[in-house]
Amino acid sequence: MTHKLDHRPILRMNGIGNEILVLDLRGSDIVLAPGEARAIGAQPGLKFDQLMALHDPRGSGADAAMRIYNIDGSLSAACGNGARCVAYALARHGGPERLRLETDAGLVKSWRESETVFTVDMGRPRLAAREIPLSRDIADTTAIVLEPRVEGAPAFFSGVGMGNPHAVFFVEDALTVDLERVGPLLEHHPLFPERANISFAQILPRGEILLRVWERGTGATKACGSAACATLVAAARAGRSGREATVKLPGGDLFIAWRDDDHVAMTGPVEFEFETTLDPAVFDGLPA
């Protein structure tokens, strides 16, 4: 049986190691089901952290609408590294170098800085408990008591919403955190009704922050753009850094600026790896 996604072209890219797929579904009415996203990730060479599915924009003025899938098939409202990859993918054959992308987190703007470096305006951080969201009302989300406690995690964290929920823990040495053990426990902590992205941040000299991230629905990743943005906001709110910093992730560096207009801008490189087509075999057993 032929599947609607058989032989569709798909791009494999990365944003400082964050594994990104870009699937252009514009001009069709196809909307990926969670099982289809998981099947794509099972195709050899196409394991991903986020899959960016492009659709025709719903409103005027946008270049495309974007749905973001994690490897487990769940949806994410924001992915800064993925947005940069989409910007490159649409610009590489003479497309616009300034983009407006519709997402579940609102309109995202992106523009080219150089051949492979792009900036994404990630919008305003959400700092109220109901906006992050948290499961209970907390007046000050700068330093939230982690209750119940999780062994191996600090007693306090900072909550930030960047279109998706983030919990930022400041530590003395981010490299010693047992991310594979505490990450899943914190992602599913009862304080986070929609789960959360978990960041362990170490403040370095000269305006730098070392960061390791456990991503909601994905696990440990080499990079997470929205987590880098959330971490800079959390550090600035706590007086641990200024409103600009280089955030150093396992896959590379991102420059994050919390601007005077309250928007967070993220600048970093992208890498195009290859273009292929979707293998019909991975959709066996799924509805056509």
pLDDT band at 1 (very low <50, low <70, confident <90, very high): low
Fold for 144-262, please state it.
Diaminopimelate Epimerase; Chain A, domain 1 (3.10.310)
Quote the pTM value.
0.93
- Residue of 224, 230, 232, 282 marked catalytic: 224
CA distance 259 to 209: 18
Q: Is 79 an annotated catalytic residue? A: yes
Domain with CATH 3.10.310.10 in the chain: 9-123+270-280, 144-262
pLDDT tens by residue, 7-55: 999 999 999 999 999 999 999 999 999 999 999 999 999 999 999 999 9
Q: pLDDT higher for 1 or 193?
A: 193
Distance CA 14, CA 136 (A): 36
CA 77/CA 64 separation, integer angstroms: 15
With respect to CATH, is domain 9-123+270-280 assigned 3.10.310.10? yes
85 among known catalytic residues:
no
pLDDT, tens digit, for every residue of 102-129?
998 889 999 999 999 999 999 999 999 9
CB 36 within 8 A of CB 67: no
pLDDT digit string (tens) for 201-231? 999 999 999 999 999 999 999 999 999 999 9
Q: What is the pLDDT of residue 273?
A: 97
| Long-range contacts, stretch 31-34, CB < 8 angstroms, 24+ apart | 31/55, 31/67, 32/5, 32/67, 32/69, 33/73, 33/286, 33/287, 34/69, 34/72, 34/73, 34/74
Q: Of residues 37, 54, 64, 79, which has the active-site annotation?
A: 79
Residue 130 DSSP code: T
